[in-house]
Structure 1
Amino acid sequence: MNQIKSGLGTSLVGWNMTSWLASAANSFDDHDVELVYCGTEVTTERCLSFIKETIPAWQSRTVNFDEGELFVLSGQQRPVIIMRPKPPTEAQKRDGGLLSPSAYGQARDLVGRAVSEARKLKAQKINVRFESCQDREILGALVGMEMAAYSYKQAMAPQPAPLPALGLSVKGEWKDEAQAIAMGTNIARHLVNSPPNLLYPDSFANALHELFSNVPGMTVDIWDEARLQKENMGLLLGVGQGSDHKPRLVHLRYRPEGKREAPLALVGKGITFDCGGLDIKDPAGMRLMKKDMGGAAAAIGALYWMTRSAFARPLDVYIPLAENAISGKSYRPGDILRARNGMTVEIHNTDAEGRLILADAMAVAAAQTGADKPAAIMVVATLTGAIKIGLGSDVAGFFSNDEALGQVISKRSQEWGDLMWRMPLFDGYRPRLETNVADINHCATGSYGGAITAALFLAEFAKGYPFSHMDIYAWTDGERGALREGGGSGQAVQCLAGVLQSFGL
């Protein structure tokens, strides 16, 4: 199986980053399971006609695409798994269709499920056929294959179980693009899955250096504690001061050859573990807090895609890293910290630490000048429980102060099957952040609108720039679509890829 090349590192937190798609051969004649994906425009009769010579007649009568989208059939010589996506329902078309399933997303999730079914059949050789498919369906299907192949246990095993041989005949550029987006998504999943005793600020920073330092056009700058103090990063230092694992800021500066656009700035929240600080979480709330760096993971996954994509453009990725821990040095409710941009911030709740480290990193982005001045500042973070209460775990919320940027995110999230719903950046709640002792209170008083006030706090550090903030969950509790195990979901990677691909072009 081929390793990732083109200047990128080939391992990440114990995972030898191999790609199943990269090992694919042309279609097999001697396969033992066949996957057949029929495009959205194919009728039931036409879909069955593609495999009528390989399955008994009685089997075709069991296939009802009005009731299901995937069927595992016993062929004359081998099992056949046939798929055809359902058209969107009237209910799914509501809200302007912005939460409707896309052709890409349906293909990704159906083929991901089919790969899992084929492996349950102990397949040694899987052949894949596409019948009357759009380009986006083929791309989604290929992404689903790669995503379904990832397993954290297997990734970390000394000798991972071999994957089945994969046969498919598609254009090379489709396979390359699918590999880039799917591996970027799996990178985000792997980072979120990694335990906090392995992934802490220093080890995270070093892992990013190893992954990206040899990429043409890339520089990786790591600010240690001394540099953070020199740069007046008071919020990041304050959050991380209670841990033995001291904070870091990683700046990944990507300037691909021949690209002269103004860079985009992408800031990802990197809390490697969050106990809540002195405002300690209860055990149930703390159990999954290794995922509190899901925003950083998504930003890294999107950067990985960018470095392997034909859509490359200048990009700055800022990853503030800290562990929110308890000790005699922990920051306290009532403390006043000074941000890098000079603002004083009163601490209201130490469990609202993510917006603090993001604010300092955003201030670094906003201070860039000349050719490095960003065209927009985009944030991605597992920031509030309030957004999950409002939208659930499958739909992220996002905020923006710029109509054009907001429309791009809404459209691309639907097209890429990585759903985001625009929330109001309602300035009427801004007074809740006021305080008599500092420039701003970082965590609003009152029980409601917490996701909005968190976004308003971040917006203070992006003044003068188009700004967006994605409030994500980054986790799935069980199998869903192409995600064949619970754990890190890679949420926001594919949406970000779509946004980066389209922004300003």
Structure 2
Amino acid sequence: MIPTDLVEVDVVASWRDGLPGAIPVLEGADGPDLTEAAEAFGLDADVLRAVGASSAAGAVQPFAPAGGAVGWSVGAGAGSGADWRGAGAGLARAVRDRLVEGGDPGSELGDLGDAPEIDYLQVRLPAGVLPESVDALVLGLSLGAYRFRVTAEPSPARLRKVLLVAPEGADQAALRERAGRARVLASATSLARDLANAPSNVKDPDWLTSRAAELAERTPGLDAVVRDEKWLTEHGFGGVLAVGGGSARPPRLLELSYGPADARGGHLVLVGKGITFDTGGISLKPADGMHLMRTDMAGGAAVIGALLAIAHLQLPVRVTGLVPAAENHVSGSAYRPGDVVRHRGGTTTEVANTDAEGRMVLADALAYAAETLDPELVVDVATLTGAMKVALGLRTGGVFASEPELAERIRTAGASTGERWWEMPLLADHEPDVRGEQADLKQAPSGPGAVGAALFLREFTAGLPWAHLDIAGPARAEQDYAEVVSGATGFAARTLVELAADLARAE
């Protein structure tokens, strides 16, 4: 089911006896601070020490406190944002495993018995907890146990609600507001994961854009328009049509529009690559790993998730999301190396490699945005180059920006929501490389691949303030870590939302 249901979160004043609960364990000056955790469960700290309770972020230890309730200690490290996300994620996975698999073996306090129906869980927040720590904890709780499966099996039992027990004297209303906002950010990430994980026999360009439009219709303030191949032809989207020409399932363009009456400042346009499957075309990819190309529209998924979250939060800023969607397939009608393609606006590109298709569809959308939408700022996001994975690995996104201040703004937006970015250079020495011999531009120039792709895209921005986010590495994960799970990660969705919020605050 898309979107995946997420756990509800609320902030309450008091601990409830008999309800399953968890206590974060922070690192103290002399090791794990077990005293507060033990007192909350009516235990001696030595008991928790005996069962191996740890302050390591995400380390979860179950036990059976007095009264028959299920209890966990969960490590929150030194209390950084990453530590709290890890704590929430570790706890969410422990509860999921308890629900699905039954008792927890190895507890020195004895067998916990058959798995109870844990609809509710309470988590005691420590004294002096920071609002940003609540943000991070909610992200971990919401995303850490995410799973996407297409199966005939019945849906497994799941945790439905978490009660965050506020410390004495805390502003519960403020913490509740922070928790609610963090859950919206988690929903943006989760939806982006859902869309990217969906199998491509279902997820063609029409399905992706139509599903996003259906979700937008249920979101107040958000409008959606889906353009078909006829409209794309009439309006000169030669790059999208070339890439999608090899598939029996034609391309689409999704346009999501959010413009509240109290919008401040300029117009932010977000452009996301929407390649619903990528064979590489005639420049065919190796078979090994090609199944992962169902996630090659992760940039478009992040834009969709972000627009829905921005509208849900009612941010006072005008935002448009564009997702050019196509399948890059092999057939007699596929575009070829050596072709010259005319983009929206008339610029021509000589094709060198049909597997460099993402920049072809983004170019049309960027040119359309610059020509028709009067943007103040344009940001595109895409799983664009393998070179970026080599440069930054699998957990950091690359930022190419027209201005250093914009790159820093994006990096800061990501840091506040648990997504890591690194600024990359738009090297002037390689600007001549994107000039074509038979056309205006060369699609896949020699030299550093990620830099060349960014310089190519810049040609379609009409000199506007612009940033290109290459998420080829962090858009997919090979293993679970912190709130990230194996498969599509939803990376960049939260950064885009926070960037929009920052723009609203700045005016």
TM-score by length of 1: 0.87
8 Å Cα contact 1:154-1:161 kept in structure 2:
no
Q: Which moved more, 1:139-148 or 1:122-131?
A: 122-131
Aligned pair in 2 of structure 1 residues 105, 499: CA closer, same or farther (>3 Å)?
Answer: farther
Residue 85 of structure 1: which of 77, 81, 101 is its match?
77
What's the CA shift for 1:482? 1.6
Give the whole-Å Cα distance in 2 for the aligned partners of 1:38 and 1:162: 24
Write the mapping of 1:87-486 to structure 2, written as runs, cut at 5 A.
103-122=80-99, 124=118, 125-132=120-127, 133-153=129-149, 159-163=155-159, 165-169=161-165, 171=173, 172-368=176-372, 372-445=373-446, 448-472=447-471, 473=473, 474-483=475-484, 485-486=485-486
What's the CA shift for 1:30? 4.1
Deviations 1:210-238 (A, max 9, x none): 00024333221111011001101111101
Letter in 1 for 2:280: G
Give the whole-Å Cα distance in 2 for the aligned partners of 1:226 and 1:69: 51
What's the CA shift for 1:156? 8.7
Q: Which moved more, 1:59-68 or 1:401-410?
A: 59-68
Q: Does 1:37 align with 2:24?
A: yes
SS at match of 1:113: helix
SS at match of 1:284: coil
SS at match of 2:288: helix
Give the whole-Å Cα distance in 2 for the aligned partners of 1:375 and 1:255: 14
Deviations 1:375-425 (A, max 9, x none): 111010000010001111111111101122111012222222200111111
Give the whole-Å Cα distance in 2 for the aligned partners of 1:39 and 1:308: 34
What's the CA shift for 1:259? 1.3
Letter in 2 for 1:423: M
Q: Does 1:498 align with 2:502?
A: no
1:55 equivalent in structure 2: 43
Give the whole-Å Cα distance in 1 for the aligned partners of 2:502 and 2:223: 24
Deviations 1:167-198 (A, max 9, x none): 33454312321221011100000011100011
Letter in 1 for 2:290: M
Give the whole-Å Cα distance in 2 for the aligned partners of 1:60 and 1:163: 24
Q: Does 1:74 align with 2:63?
A: yes
Q: Which moved more, 1:328-337 or 1:175-184?
A: 175-184
Aligned CA-pair RMSD: 2.5
Give the whole-Å Cα distance in 2 for the aligned partners of 1:242 and 1:450: 25
Aligned pair in 2 of structure 1 residues 44, 309: CA closer, same or farther (>3 Å)?
Answer: farther
8 Å Cα contact 2:95-2:159 kept in structure 1:
no
Give the whole-Å Cα distance in 1 for the aligned partners of 2:428 and 2:234: 34
Give the whole-Å Cα distance in 2 for the aligned partners of 1:85 and 1:440: 51
What's the CA shift for 1:166? 3.1
8 Å Cα contact 2:74-2:87 kept in structure 1:
no
Deviations 1:315-357 (A, max 9, x none): 0100000000011000000000001011110000000000000
Give the whole-Å Cα distance in 2 for the aligned partners of 1:300 and 1:16: 12
8 Å Cα contact 2:255-2:320 kept in structure 1:
yes
Give the whole-Å Cα distance in 1 for the aligned partners of 2:32 and 2:348: 67
Aligned pair in 2 of structure 1 residues 178, 39: CA closer, same or farther (>3 Å)?
Answer: farther
8 Å Cα contact 2:348-2:440 kept in structure 1:
yes
Give the whole-Å Cα distance in 1 for the aligned partners of 2:454 and 2:380: 10
Q: Which moved more, 1:195-204 or 1:64-73?
A: 64-73
Letter in 1 for 2:157: A
SS at match of 1:153: coil
Give the whole-Å Cα distance in 2 for the aligned partners of 1:60 and 1:29: 20
8 Å Cα contact 1:268-1:320 kept in structure 2:
yes
Give the whole-Å Cα distance in 2 for the aligned partners of 1:488 and 1:481: 14
Aligned pair in 2 of structure 1 residues 67, 160: CA closer, same or farther (>3 Å)?
Answer: closer
SS at match of 1:340: coil
8 Å Cα contact 1:267-1:361 kept in structure 2:
yes
Q: Which moved more, 1:50-59 or 1:151-160?
A: 151-160
Letter in 2 for 1:83: G
Give the whole-Å Cα distance in 2 for the aligned partners of 1:216 and 1:67: 42
8 Å Cα contact 1:245-1:323 kept in structure 2:
yes
What's the CA shift for 1:59? 3.1
Aligned pair in 2 of structure 1 residues 204, 104: CA closer, same or farther (>3 Å)?
Answer: same
Give the whole-Å Cα distance in 1 for the aligned partners of 2:57 and 2:348: 57
Aligned pair in 2 of structure 1 residues 491, 358: CA closer, same or farther (>3 Å)?
Answer: same
What's the CA shift for 1:58? 3.0
Q: Report the identity percentage.
A: 31
Aligned pair in 2 of structure 1 residues 378, 25: CA closer, same or farther (>3 Å)?
Answer: same
Q: Which moved more, 1:164-173 or 1:282-291?
A: 164-173
Deviations 1:25-69 (A, max 9, x none): 876624454222356889857553342353344334356867666
Give the whole-Å Cα distance in 2 for the aligned partners of 1:244 and 1:154: 24
8 Å Cα contact 1:105-1:415 kept in structure 2:
no
Q: Which moved more, 1:174-183 or 1:390-399?
A: 174-183
User: Structure 1: any 5+ residue segments left out of the alignment?
Assistant: 1-13, 88-102
Aligned pair in 2 of structure 1 residues 301, 27: CA closer, same or farther (>3 Å)?
Answer: farther
Letter in 1 for 2:481: R
Aligned pair in 2 of structure 1 residues 68, 475: CA closer, same or farther (>3 Å)?
Answer: closer
